[in-house]
Each structure stands twice: as C-alpha cells, then as structure tokens.
Homo-oligomer: A and B are copies of this chain.
C-alpha cells in the first residue's frame, strides 16, 4: 500500500472547531504522530499506532513521520490550531527539503484548521477586522533583535498584532521586553487582550490597555492581541466588553 502523510490541526481546543476533513483523515490514519499534549486530546482506535513524543524537536518528529509514510503507512501528523501557523507543517517540508529525494514524491497534504488567533479574536469580538500580523515571540529559531525590529515595524504599519508563544517557563522575560518595545512606540491607551486556553474549560479573557497590561500574566497557552489605532471597545452592562477593529482607517496616531 502506498504511504500517505496528512498534516492536520486540531484547532485551539474546542472539539467542534476541528474540521470534518481533519476528523475524516484522522480516522483513516494507520499511524498518528504528534506532540503528547495534542495526541492526548484524541480518541484513538486500537488498530491505530500512536507515536507521541514529549520533546520539542519538531524536525525529528517530521522525519519520523516521513519514514513511516515512506514505509507504506497512512500517517497523520497532528498539531494544535492550524498546522501551517507556527506548527508542524513547516517542519515537515523542511525535512523533505533536506531528506532523501524519494520523500519529495510522497503523497503529502496539509489540511487547514482554525488557528489560535482566529479563535481568540472570535471570543473577543472582531479585533482582526483590519490589516494584521502574527509574530512568534519565541527566539529559539531567530535572534531576539529580529523580533524587536518586527514589533517596531508592525506598530509603525499600524497592524493589529497577534503574539504567539509569548512566554514559557524557559522564556519568562521576553514578553516583558516585547511590551517595552510596544510602550515606547504607541500610546498607553492602545487596546490589549490576553486570551488564554481558548476553547477549553479554563479559558480566560482579559481586556485592558497597553499602559495597564501586566505582561507577566501570559504563559504558553496565552495568545496576546495588541490593537491598532482603530481598535475599539464596546462596553456592555455585563461581561467582557466587545473588542473590534474599525474597517475604516481613521488616521489616528500617524
């Protein structure tokens, strides 16, 4: 049987955010490869082989998946969110690029999913309603100076900014440095939202301003959204205010 490899995302946490396509391909897989935290969300059948790992070496995981597919297995590589956004898909193609020529001819496909910033935005209202960018705050694969420069250019462009992987136990300080860059560039009334564990039981949303934000509340399950000059709050008598970004450019702060 010819092997196949499907790279798919489980969404940010809520089961009914997984696309029917991804569910179908998961069910068709003979082998499931992924980080332990994602694999543990799945209901696996006894005829499916699970290859869960708890280390962060994505390239090694990708190579393992490709070896299984080259050997004839129907492989599903699982990520959280969308597999193409700071997740496994890029590692799979990097492995193919630097691997044996035969890997290029394998039947490989990526299945799109709901990435964390879309789920966080939906819970808040419509903060991504105008031009935006997504920045991975981890400096494992790029120098911190590049991240600081991107943040500065992003506020200059007046993008709404989604910050992925803002902090971890190994990197507690960078989110503080990132906020220092932002605070030096735009006024303190800029809307800031912390969306943690979106779509899970312990989901929490916190809407504040750049001046009042405590970057220390971010952890590895938090997505941070920094508003543009056009991001507004709609207060309600109960609950978190709605956050949205005006579709119409206002010219403020430029």
List of B residues within 8 angstroms of A133 by Cβ = 131-134, 154, 157, 159
Interface contact B93-A244, CB-CB below 8 Å: yes
Report the nearest B residue to A132, measured CB to CB: B134
Complex formed: what's the CA distance from A143 to B249 in Å?
8
List of B residues within 8 angstroms of A158 by Cβ = 146, 150
Interface contact A83-B18, CB-CB below 8 Å: no
List of B residues within 8 angstroms of A242 by Cβ = 93, 96, 104, 108
A107 to chain B, nearest CB (A): 10
CB of A1 closer than 8 Å to a CB of B:
no
Describe A's contact surface by its main secondary structure.
Answer: mixed
List of B residues within 8 angstroms of A86 by Cβ = 129
List of B residues within 8 angstroms of A203 by Cβ = none
Report the nearest B residue to A99, measured CB to CB: B234
Partner among B20, B90, B246 whose Cβ is within 8 Å of the Cβ of A126: B90
A13 to chain B, nearest CB (A): 11
A240 to chain B, nearest CB (A): 12
Known pairs A90-B126, A104-B236, A142-B248; A19 contacts B17 (CB<8 A): yes
CB of A91 closer than 8 Å to a CB of B:
yes
Complex formed: what's the CA distance from A20 to B126 in Å?
21
Known pairs A16-B20, A118-B84, A134-B131; A89 contacts B157 (CB<8 A): no
List of B residues within 8 angstroms of A83 by Cβ = 122, 126
Interface contact A84-B247, CB-CB below 8 Å: no
Report the nearest B residue to A111, measured CB to CB: B122
CB of A54 closer than 8 Å to a CB of B:
no
Interface contact A131-B122, CB-CB below 8 Å: no
- 8 Å CB contacts to B: which residues of A123-173? 123, 125-136, 141-143, 146, 149-150, 153-154, 156-159
A163 to chain B, nearest CB (A): 10
A249 to chain B, nearest CB (A): 3
Complex formed: what's the CA distance from A24 to B121 in Å?
20
CB of A110 closer than 8 Å to a CB of B:
yes
Q: What are the nearest 8 A-B pairs in CB distance? A: A90-B129, A142-B249, A93-B244, A89-B126, A133-B133, A110-B122, A153-B157, A16-B21
Known: A89-B126, A110-B122. 7 other contacts (CB 8 A): A17-B20, A82-B118, A90-B244, A93-B125, A104-B242, A133-B157, A153-B156
